[in-house]
Structure 1
Amino acid sequence: MRRRTFAASLGAAAVATTAVPAMAHAKTSGHCEDAYTWRTAVINGGGYVPGIVFNETEADVIYARTDIGGMYRWQEPTQTWKPLLDWVGADQWGYTGVVSVATDPVETSRVYAAVGTYTNDWDPNNGAVLYSDDYGDTWGVAELPFKQGGNMPGRGMGERLAVDPADNAVVYLGTPNGNGLWRSTDHGRNWAEVEAFPNPGNFVQDPNNPYSDDNQGVIWVEFDQAGRIFVGVADPADPLYVSEDRGQTWAPVPGAAAIGSADGNKTIPKQAAIDHVNGHLFIVTSWDPGPYNGGPASGDGGAVWRLDLADGTWTDITPAYNPAGRIPGFGGITVDRQRPGTLMAATQNNWGPDEVLFRSTDSGATWETSWDLVAGADGSQQRTDRFTMDASGSEWLTFGNSDQGTQYAVKHGWMIDALSIDPFNSDRIMWGTGATIWGTEQLTAWDAQGPLVGEDGAGNPVALPVERFTVAVRAEGVEETSIQDIAALGGTVVSAVGDLGGFVQNDLGKAGKQIRNPDWSSGRSVDFAALNPSIVVGTGDVHGDVDGHVAVSVDRGATWLTTARVEGVAKDGNGGTVAVSADGSVIVWSPGNGTTAPVYSTDLGQTWKPVEGLPAGAKVRADRVRASRWYAYFAGVFYTSGDGARKFADTGATGLPPEGDVDFRAVPGKRGHLWLAGGNTPDEVDPVYGMWRSTDGGATWKRVRDFDTADAVGFGKSRGRGYPAIYASAKSGGQAGIWRSTDEGRSWQRINDDANQWAWTGKAISGDPQVYGRVYIATNGRGMIYGDIAD
């Protein structure tokens, strides 16, 4: 095998993540530069947290990794998380998908992150290992010659990164897609493949699907106290290897093939944990890499195994009982360092009525469940629980539901791969879900509760009383939503949010109210009537088959009305875009299915009529001053309407991007003023990509030459009484950033700095109509960022 080596990239110098003003200009404005303070609008979580890693030799050093939103460090004094990868810029946006984290047990300030969001062509760049010597405050970058999948199937397995406690300069990395096991001998600066490692894995979930056709590869690395290195591989027939000579030679672990099936279903070793005192290696398996699928068609889809490290004996310690029936597969596993023999495991995608946390205090010989069911005399089932779920601060975690029998509105979670007991505190556990982080500091109360179910005098099963402890949200500071659109009303901000629908926030320091009517799986677009901001509209992909895609509020988002469905528009993936006239009398919706032309309504969406003159997929906006004036764009053609969106006509404008993701916005208080951003990417044939403006209702356009490329444009309060401040997510002179103009676009100032880039910010941007200088930025995984001029 040819040896593959590489050096850290030239950009491997430490990158500061503290807020240091570092401004750049497209043109000098003549005004003093404004330093900005940046914050994140609070939702608390909102996305998948597949890994939580505690340092085992320094208390309270804890890291959480996310699939698209970067990485965080726990701050014990405030009980909050600090983002560590906000410095990642647009050109390397894939670095915000974190595949694995390793925290050094010897020099505890050292930490590593394996990054890269997609292994397919969705991410144009290869992956990397980030290394830090100061708990993640600054980072270096070691580029890899292959891709990694922080947002691919299997991202909750691992950890794929591990530091050798006998020589902490040595760090291992397991990789997907046949790339094998890699090793650094200089604290992550340089990497090379471990040529002696014999098995790169072979498990592929679905070879016919470009998203789930990865060979899951080398999954995790663990060290025992004898210095042996154990490596889990996605190969059901040969899933575990060991080295007894510090990684020079490797051999399959005898008997390990037994863990490669559960009830006849092929399984892979998703995670492992070692009890050093008792000499046990624990492994959880699952029938697929997760995190989405339920169990296989029949039988159990996973197991828990124990390997005695002294004599090599394997024991199947899978819990014999799951209150929800068969086990779909397992997610996370963790051991208690303070109480040898105590371990916990979580089911994965036990969709109804809830996931189950299993706990054993005798090395897996017996297990207790976090909840159980008891059949009543009338045949109904009663649920009994060990703990109460407290969603305070994240009330949206009900997702608009209420408790229905055994199905609780607030669940233990789903997609539970991150499951970690604090190695210094047996009472503290945290686990990550597809939406948040849960935790408690009362975990050992479980052991005093006894069984949840017993028998009455007649031998019938009954729920036994237990004193419940409390599990609460531990996601404060983690903001991992993908913002699709922003409507800043002034004092109220409405956002369309991927996976969560949307939020209405009057206080950006609180999660606010989730838009639940209609029930959006993902929000796509929001708008408000410029002359009557009490009227707000939004659209999204809907769950059910009754409600329309469009939602309407007449009280600034306090309450929402559902609208009628449009025939031929399916619920999933078709939210499209929505706009409302300046006076709120007309709503235009352009479905996202690409086959249905825009429709308009004059009765708040109760009925819809087809718009004349526009193709399917056209984006439509309302003039912010004249209620009758509307605009639309599609494939390089610009349209206008003067009759309240009933009929549109081509303006004949030329020079606009004929393809690519393009958006445009109308300027508040300025009739006929429009700004347009977007186009096709520079690596395509004949790229047209940038920013244009029109002052005559779209009849003619002038390119804004300051920008090489541009993705989003929006407006906020002017500096005085002049033209509104203009904000853009764009690139000028090769510098991507957030730009502001206070003089109608004659000059621009970059208002963010290299420490605050948030990867890709091109979906939407808006200023505030009442607060000069405030800007709201949509990110793809770091929530809604907002900035104010620093005092």
Structure 2
Amino acid sequence: MNRKHDFVLPALLAGVLAACSGGSTPDTAAASSPSLQPASSGPAATTSSTPAGSWTSVKWGGGGYVTGLIYHPTSANVMYARTDIGGAYRWNNSNGSWTPITDGPGFGGGESEFHGVESIALDPSNDQLVYLVTGMYTVDGGGNPQNGRIYASSNRGASWTHYDLPFPVGGNEDARAIGERLQLDPTNPSTMFYASRTAGLWKSTNSGQTWTQAALSSTVLTGAQIKVIGSVKGVEQIMFDNSNVGGGAATRNIYAAVAPDYAQAAGLGSTLYKSQDGGSSWTPVPVPSSVSGYYVPHMVRTSDGYFYVVFNKTAGQGAGGPGYLYKFGGTSFGESWTQLAATTTGGYGGVSVYGSGAMARIALAVTGTWTSTSPVVQLSDNGGGSWREIAGGMQHGGAGYWGWVDDIEIDPANRDHIMHITGGGVWETWNASSATPSWDAPVNNLEETATQALVTPPAGAAYTLVNSAGDIGTWVQTDVTAHPTRGPTSAWSNGNAADMAWSDPSYIVGSGVLNSSSTAFGFWSGDSGNTWSNFAVLPNGAAANQAAASSIVATARGQVIWAPANSVPSYSTDNGASWTPTNLPALPAVGWDRGYRLVVDRKNPAKVYAYDSAGVPWNNTAGKVYVSTDGGHNFTLSQGSVSAKLAPNAYWTTSMAINPKVEGDIWLADGNAVYHSTDSGANWAKVGNFATVAASGSTGQLQGASVIALGKALGGSSYQAAVYVVGAMNGVWGVYHSDDGGASWARYNDDAHQFGGIGVMAADWNTYGRIYLSGTGRGLLYTN
């Protein structure tokens, strides 16, 4: 089961439409201050040039897959968390919260791919140095291998320098908690190795600036081979057989674990190898017959020279067993193996050891159990001689307890402090020695949800926004500082779209998919989200087309139009008891999910607008807008949209918004440019000088204009709404705003607040200057 592979695409491709390339060209990330020039000639500029003062996360709390926790071995409380799509975080012990460290330069539009962190490494002799290896997928949308990046920071992630890697990285692929794949030589940290998924083992002797393939294997899998194998696990990790920390000669004795999939493809006869010359040559190491052909998700080395190695028959998030824990002697002890634990209930994910020898405390993560009452953490205080359960059946506070217990860490400075990851965040206990340890979720400011659609109500409504997100579903947010409680279901689901009747915002409609059964459903609330009901039936196309390239709108209570992905929209006049197809044309398949984007004229809800973005950039058919004057039942093609020659683009790189203060006042972002119509879509004028910037090196294409939103106007402004656009102007990507109807523009974010790219955005109608937007796997953020 591989969460987020589907719904991360809109946020990712909003900035990235080009594959990563190889090479080792350095790119030092530094903040820039672009000139805020008017975008077009016209009246005197009235747009405020003041950017957003601050950015704050809308409260959810966790919500996504933390794939690894990394402690510094000697500096207390220096800890990092990596996530599959939401970047990386540093723990702030002073206030018990997480600090996002990948929101700024090097993680903006066109670089969303690098918000997936596959591995983190810390310099054991300098606790300021941190390295990230990033990249979400080993192949691009066309099946071609795409290479990752390594980021280096000398100030705990406050700023970064990055280098392109010559091999692919899969931070959001199967078995992404394996690790850590990046390892620094403990006696010479400028030497590092990377255990790659598809290209063997790699070595750098200059802190990641350049890389050479180590001699373990020269096999580099092609895109076609990767497709046949699936999500390749590759070389899983390495272990240095050296206990010293600090400067000195490079470690000579090294072990490398190799996943069965890559071993078979590369013609390797074992899943464990050793080098006694610093990686120049390798020989196979026999493993116990009980784990022959098994995966090695985690392994650690203790100060006495022993290794603790987890073997599991399968690999992936919440992988089932059998699983085994072995103690391995290494070169110092004749490479002996001793079995310490085994399981057939779930599998083994992670292992952590405090101390050594017969008195070692060992924490063992049992994964794939899926309930808080099944065994999830086994603890031994006698080196593996006996075990007791410390999590299953114990009290777990918070929300979102998933079965992916795939990494576990004992705090090097406090043996009673144990943390483990899940698919919904992080859990910890501070009293592991207790017979009944208590657990809580330390996820303050760790926000890793993926919003797919976002809508804000008119001023004065009883709620702030409606958030439709992957995995967590749809929620009505009444307080951005508190976890929401109003939703149609608490089950694991994808929220695809939502809307409200503007004249009656207590009536809310939405669509989504129950992930456990892959069942599409539509829902409504008549009391601002306090209670919910499902639509009695689904419209044509909704059951089979469950992708997020869909839209749903309400013209009045009980009056709904639903556009499922890849489908002709249908309307209901009886609150979903029945549906009738509209006359909109069918959408030809283009290889990607596509759909009609619907908006209701808030001033005159008899008018509904439908935008077909053409689905893909290479589609020879331009984008089109259709107009209905009978509440979304019948539509007519806007010839003005045809004349405008709207660029063909993907659903998730385009947007349409309405000014609720004026009838027929529509804004559209076609992925490349911004268009404005003041006559209900009859005519369209290009506004501003937004323009797409082509991909360059490892940086993806920057969409000229991908998201547009309108909100409360600046007092005294010449236009009745503030307009916000995510796009590129004068070659600089960001969020731009206009207070004068597009006559002038100013950048609204800065390089420190790019959030790995922006997928969706909405503006507030109560407060001028407040916008809500989704970063790539960063949940929702808002301006103050």
Shorter-normalised TM range: 0.7 to 0.9
C-alpha contact 1:275 1:341 (8 A) present in aligned 2: no
Q: Which residue of 2 aligns with 1:382?
A: none
Preserved contact between residue 110 and residue 131 of structure 1 (Cα < 8 Å): yes
Q: Report the equivalent of 2:309.
A: 283
Distance in 2 (CA, whole Å) between partners of 1:124 and 1:693 is 39
Aligned counterpart for 1:333 among listed residues 351, 356, 362: 351
Q: Distance in 2 between matches of 1:61 and 1:668?
A: 49
Alignment-derived partner of residue 748 in structure 1: 745
**Greater relative CO (CA pairs within 8 A, separation 6+):** 2
Distance 1:210 1:570, change over 3 A: farther
Of 482, 505, 516, 1:510 maps to 482
For 1:520 and 1:172, how far apart are their aligned partners in 2? 38
Q: Secondary structure at the match of 2:396?
A: strand
Computed over aligned residues only, the root mean square deviation of the Cα atoms, in angstroms, reads: 2.9
Contact 2:568–2:584, Cα closer than 8 Å, also in 1: no
Aligned partner (choices 337, 342, 349) of residue 315 of structure 1: 337
Matches within 5 A, 1:59-98: 59-87=76-104, 88-98=107-117
* 1:45 partnered with 2:72: no
Partner of 1:598: 569
Q: In the superposition, relative to structure 1, how do residues 38 and 338 fare at CA in structure 2: closer, same or farther (>3 Å)? A: farther
Check if 1:612 corresponds to 2:612.
no
User: 1:201-257 CA deviation, whole Å, 9 max, x = no partner?
Assistant: 99x99968579242523434444327533222224641223334444443333x236
Whether 1:713 aligns to 2:685 is no
Cα distance 1:66–1:497, how it changes in 2: closer, same or farther (>3 A)? same
- Cα contact 1:8–1:141 (8 A) shared by 2: no
Aligned to 2:256: 231
- Compared with structure 1, are the counterparts of its residues 760 and 695 closer, same or farther at alpha carbon in structure 2 (3 Å cutoff)? same
SS at match of 1:145: strand
Distance 2:511 2:681 in 1: 25
Retained in 2: the 8 A contact 1:222–1:273?
no
Q: For residue 624 of structure 1, what is the aligned residue in structure 2?
A: 602
Partner amino acid for 1:558? Answer: N
Structure 1 residue 267: Cα displacement: 1.2
Which residue does 1:9 correspond to in 2?
A: 25
Equivalence for 1:121: 140
1:413-424 equivalences under 5 Å are 413-424=402-413
AA aligned opposite 2:333: D
SS at match of 1:94: helix
Q: Shift of the alpha carbon at 1:492?
A: 1.3
| CA separation of 1:86 and 1:208: change in aligned 2, threshold 3 A | closer
- Provide closer, same or farther for how the CA distance between residues 604 and 318 of structure 1 changes in structure 2, counting only shifts above 3 A: farther
Q: 1:142 to 1:355 in 2, by over 3 A?
A: farther
Contact 2:754 2:775 in 1 (8 A): no
CA apart distance, 1:739: 0.8
Q: Distance in 2 between matches of 1:173 and 1:729?
A: 36
> Is the counterpart of residue 525 in structure 1 residue 497 in structure 2?
yes
The answer to whether 1:698 aligns with 2:681 is yes
Q: Aligned in 2, Cα 1:276/1:332: closer, same or farther, shift over 3 Å?
A: same
CA deviation vs aligned residue, 1:301-324 (integer Å, no higher than 9, x gap)? 33222112332354352535x5xx
1:488 counterpart (456, 468, 478): 456
Asked if structure 2 preserves the Cα contact closer than 8 Å seen for 1:482 and 1:497, the reply is yes
1:40-189 superposed matches below 5 A: 40-87=57-104, 88-122=107-141, 126-178=147-199, 180-188=200-208
Instruction: Give, in whole Å, the separation in 2 of the partners of 1:260 and 1:201.
Output: 26
Q: How far apart are residue 571 of structure 1 and its match?
A: 6.6
| Partner Cα distance (1:695, 1:597) in 2 | 27
The residue correspondences of 1:663-742 to structure 2 (distance < 5 A) are 663-679=655-671, 689-708=672-691, 709-720=704-715, 722-742=719-739
Q: Secondary structure at the match of 1:473?
A: coil
1: CA distance, partners of 2:164 / 2:559: 52
Deviations 1:319-376 (A, max 9, x none): 35x5xxx24432111111489522122223234664522222232233223467xxxx
Equivalent pair of 2:670/2:706 in contact (CA under 8 Å): yes
Distance 2:271 2:388 in 1: 28
Superposed, 1:201-220 pairs within 5 Å as: 209=227, 212-214=230-232, 216-220=234-238
Return the TM-score normalized by structure 1: 0.82
Distance in 1 between residues matched to 2:193 and 2:119, nearest whole Å: 11
**Structure 1 residues 545 and 754, CA gap change in structure 2 (3 angstroms):** closer
TM-score scaled by length of structure 2: 0.83
| Aligned pairs (5 A) from 1:472-487 | 472-487=440-455
How big is the shift at 1:182? Answer: 2.2
| Residue identity matched to 1:770 | N
Q: Structure 1: give runs of 5+ residues left out of the alignment.
A: 373-384, 398-410, 450-467, 680-688
Q: What amino acid maps onto 2:50 in structure 1?
A: D
Out of 27, 30, 41, the position equivalent to 2:39 is 27
- Structure 1 pair 554–159 and aligned structure 2 pair: CA distance change class (3 A): same
Q: 1:675 to 1:355 in 2, by over 3 A?
A: farther
1:90/1:341 CA distance change after superposition, 3 Å: same
CA distance in 2, matches of 1:348, 1:25: 54
Structure 1 residues 614 and 519, CA, compared in 2 at 3 Å: closer, same or farther? farther
1:14 Cα deviation (Å)? 4.7
CA distance in 2, matches of 1:25, 1:259: 68
Question: What secondary structure is seen at the aligned counterpart in 2 of 1:270?
Answer: coil
Q: Which moved more, 1:71-80 or 1:473-482?
A: 473-482
Identity %: 29
- Return closer, same or farther for 1:307/1:348 CA change in 2, 3 Å cut-off: same
Distance in 2 (CA, whole Å) between partners of 1:705 and 1:31 is 13
- Shift, 1:511, TM fit: 1.6
| Contact 1:49–1:67 (8 Å) recurs in 2 | yes
Residues 429-480 of structure 1 show CA distances to partners (whole Å, capped at 9, x for unaligned) of 11111111111111121xxx3xxxxxxxxxxxxxxxxxx2210011111111
Aligned mates of 2:160, 2:175 — CA distance in 1: 26
Match of 1:685 in 2: none
CA distance in structure 2 between the partners assigned to 1:97 and 1:217 by the alignment: 19
Does the 8 Å contact 1:520/1:540 carry over to 2? no
In structure 1, give the amino acid aligned to 2:513: D
Paired with 2:295 and 2:517, the residues of 1 have a C-alpha distance of 37
1:90 aligned counterpart, secondary structure: coil
Displacement of 1:767 in angstroms is 1.1
Separation of aligned partners in 2, 1:208 and 1:150: 15
1:679-709 superposed Cα distances (whole Å, 9 cap, x missing partner): 4xxxxxxxxx322221111122122241112
Aligned equivalents of 1:545, 1:783: Cα separation in 2: 25
Match of 2:780 among 776, 779, 784: 784
- Cα deviation for residue 599 of structure 1 reads 1.6
Q: Contact 1:355–1:414 (CA<8 Å) still a contact in 2?
A: no
Measured in 2, the distance between the counterparts of 1:419 and 1:177 equals 26
Unpaired stretches in structure 2, ≥5 consecutive residues? 1-20, 245-250, 264-268, 588-594, 615-622, 692-703
Equivalent residue letter for 1:428: H
Residue 49 of structure 1, CA deviation = 0.6
Aligned equivalents of 1:366, 1:201: Cα separation in 2? 43
Given that 1:241 and 1:252 are in contact with CA atoms closer than 8 Å, whether structure 2 keeps it comes out as: yes
| Deviation sequence 1:356-409 (CA, Å, 0-9, x none) | 22222232233223467xxxxxxxxxxxx3x31011xxx4x2xxxxxxxxxxxx
Distance 1:94 1:543, change over 3 A: closer
1:91: Cα distance to partner?
1.7
CA contact (8 A) 1:154 1:216 kept: no
Distance in 2 (alpha carbons) for counterparts of 1:739 and 1:103: 37
